[in-house]
Amino acid sequence: MIPIKRSHHPPEHTARGSMIGLAWAFTPTIGLQMLFVITTWIVARRLFRWDFNVIVGVAWTWTTNALTMLPSYYAFYVTGQMMLGQWHDLAGYQSFLTLWQSTAGAMGEDANLAETATLYGEVLLGWGVAMLVGCIPWAALVGWVGYAWTLRFVRSYQEGRARRRHAAAVARAALRAERVDFATPAQ
């Protein structure tokens, strides 16, 4: 919240950061999302002269993390299966967890880079297409909601801050006027 509140840029700049961060957060790329936000920021600035608050974007990627990974991956998977018309293959959450654990458990704790790559290859081939397709509506919807909410929040915050500053300036002016009146001798 601090970078959102303290930004000196227009509200749209900060809202775009929220949109990009949340859009990347709702993709099956946990662990790479911050890198993707930074890459998007570099490409957008250099090629399209389009800018956003990269700090806000990176921070919003943390909405999906190791704790929320499996539920979000499951939501992407089921959404993707429905979008691909594969209604017969909608595994329940418990089945999804079992499949995930069996794939991840096959590696063990001493997994090296090749075994980790194999795991991600199995995940990509087994469920990856459905998850990649299924994340698109989630990323678009959550990114848009994040943009709209942040834009409304920042505008409201800036208007409130401007009202408070104006009220403080009026109060200071009134206090100065009182001091001047008090300092001048009565006639």
Angstrom distances, CA of residue 181 to CA of 160, 168, 169, 184, 185:
31, 20, 18, 6, 8
Reduced to 3 states (helix: H, G, I; strand: E, B; else coil), residue 96 is: helix
Q: What angle is formed at CA 12 by the lines to CA 52 and CA 4, rounded to 5 degrees?
A: 75
* Predicted model pTM: 0.78
Could you list the residue range(s) of the whole structural domain that residue 125 is in? Answer: 2-183
Per-residue pLDDT at 103 exceeds 70: no
Per-residue pLDDT reduced to its tens digit, 20-64: 999 999 999 888 999 999 999 999 999 999 999 999 999 999 999
Can you give the pLDDT at residue 72? 92
Distant-in-sequence, close-in-space partners of 5: CB < 8 Å, separation ≥ 6: 154, 157
Domains contained in the chain, number? 1
Pairwise CA distance, residues 152 & 145, whole Å: 11
CA distance 79 to 87: 10
Tens of pLDDT, residue by residue over 122-152, are: 666 667 888 899 999 999 999 999 999 999 9
- Which pLDDT value is given to residue 124? 65
pLDDT at position 115: 64
For the chain, percent helix, then strand, then coil, each to nearest 5?
80, 0, 20
> pLDDT value at position 140?
98
Per-residue confidence band for 111, with pLDDT thresholds at 50, 70 and 90:
low
In the numeric block, the tokens 């979008």 are attached to 83
- pLDDT > 90 fraction of the chain, expressed in percent and rounded: 48
